[in-house]
Amino acid sequence: MPSFQTLLYNVTDGVCTITLNRPEVYNAFNEKMKEEFNDALREAGRDVQVRAVVIRGAGEKAFCSGQDLKEHSGSKRSLKESLEQNYNPMIRKIRTMEKPVVAMINGVAAGAGCSLALACDMRLMSTTAKLIEIFIRIGLVPDSGSHWFLPRLVGISRAFEYAATGRDIPADEAERVGLALDLARRLAKAPTKAIGLIKRTLNKALASDLESILEYEALIQQIASGTEDHTEGLRAFIEKRQPVFKGK
């Protein structure tokens, strides 16, 4: 099990829980946490024992408040370089990881923390949680993929409103469902290969026409039909029992 200074990393029952562990600063990203979070995502992606990933924040107040603005206070740094070297790679890892990734949002998710939540496959929010595209409050624009994810989730008009006003988006306004760990455990027992293929195809579908996706679905379905989980699913259906998927 890897050890980190700014994160907690645990694997139980096929679920990898990555906890952003800087509650004293609302789990804001400093340089060390950005480096370690990328490493943790890489480890979870290649660990065959991990079949679902939960990302959460330590403490009761925040999921992640984005960049730690105090870390570089008074110094001039390249935001472009920071995005290209740190934030963009973590977003790519989440979107290309062929395992379900769930954001368990227990408090504020602001700035890059909001983008991180949007990049996950599902967002599960407590009643006190908030999403905030806070960039406009300091004269910046959303980054870390928010311009791509937000309009696809809420539509272009609402996306503009959230980005241009930077207002809080409370849990009762955002999509809200059940308990994250229970859901993650169910996902970890699902046919993970098929979930990975679904994720891959959905990513491709966002930039493809219908005819291209029809052809791609046929290819992906052929791959899915060759998995051990498909064989087990068919056998279980015929035998009228619950399947025991292994993610293979």
> pLDDT at position 205, please?
83
Measure the CA–CA gap between 134 and 187, rounded to whole angstroms. 32
> pLDDT at position 117, please?
95
Measure the CA–CA gap between 20 and 59, rounded to whole angstroms. 9
Residue 194 identity: A
Do 17 and 107 lie in one domain? The reply is yes
Closest CA to 142 of 171, 125, 117: 117
> pLDDT at position 177, please?
32
Asked whether residue 87 is assigned to any structural domain, the reply reads: yes
Do 44 and 122 lie in one domain? The reply is yes
Tens-level pLDDT at each residue, the chain (248 residues): 788 999 999 999 999 999 999 999 999 999 999 999 999 999 999 999 999 999 999 998 999 999 998 877 666 677 888 888 899 999 999 999 999 999 999 999 999 999 999 999 999 988 889 999 888 887 788 889 888 888 888 887 888 888 888 888 888 877 533 335 666 777 778 888 888 888 888 888 878 887 888 888 888 888 888 888 888 888 887 898 888 888 88
**CATH number of the domain bearing residue 141:** 3.90.226.10
Do 163 and 60 lie in one domain? The reply is yes
> pLDDT at position 78, please?
74
Question: Phi and psi dihedrals of 59, rounded to 5?
Answer: 85, -175
Closest CA to 126 of 63, 71, 182: 63
Do 139 and 229 lie in one domain? The reply is no
> pLDDT at position 175, please?
55
Question: What is the count of structural domains for the chain?
Answer: 2
Residue 91, CA distances (Å) to 41, 117, 146, 195 in order:
10, 10, 10, 18
Asked whether residue 30 is assigned to any structural domain, the reply reads: yes
Cβ neighbours for 47, distance < 8 A, ≥ 6 positions apart: 11, 16
SS3 of 4, please? coil
For 96, left (φ over 0), alpha (ψ -120 to 50), or beta?
Answer: alpha
Structural domain that includes position 216: 191-239
Instruction: Name the strand (E) or helix (H) holding 182.
Output: helix 180-188
Asked whether residue 164 is assigned to any structural domain, the reply reads: yes
Do 232 and 167 lie in one domain? The reply is no
Asked whether residue 2 is assigned to any structural domain, the reply reads: no
Do 200 and 97 lie in one domain? The reply is no
Site of tokens 């789990």? 27
> pLDDT at position 75, please?
65
Do 230 and 162 lie in one domain? The reply is no
Asked whether residue 109 is assigned to any structural domain, the reply reads: yes
Do 12 and 129 lie in one domain? The reply is yes
Do 34 and 128 lie in one domain? The reply is yes
Do 220 and 130 lie in one domain? The reply is no
Do 150 and 234 lie in one domain? The reply is no
The two structure tokens encoding residue 136? 């406009």
Do 171 and 211 lie in one domain? The reply is no
DSSP at 99:
S
Measure the CA–CA gap between 194 and 204, rounded to whole angstroms. 15
> pLDDT at position 79, please?
80
Asked whether residue 1 is assigned to any structural domain, the reply reads: no
- Residue 27 contacts residue 64 (beta carbons within 8 Å): yes
CA dihedral 171, 172, 176, 178 (to 10 degrees): 90
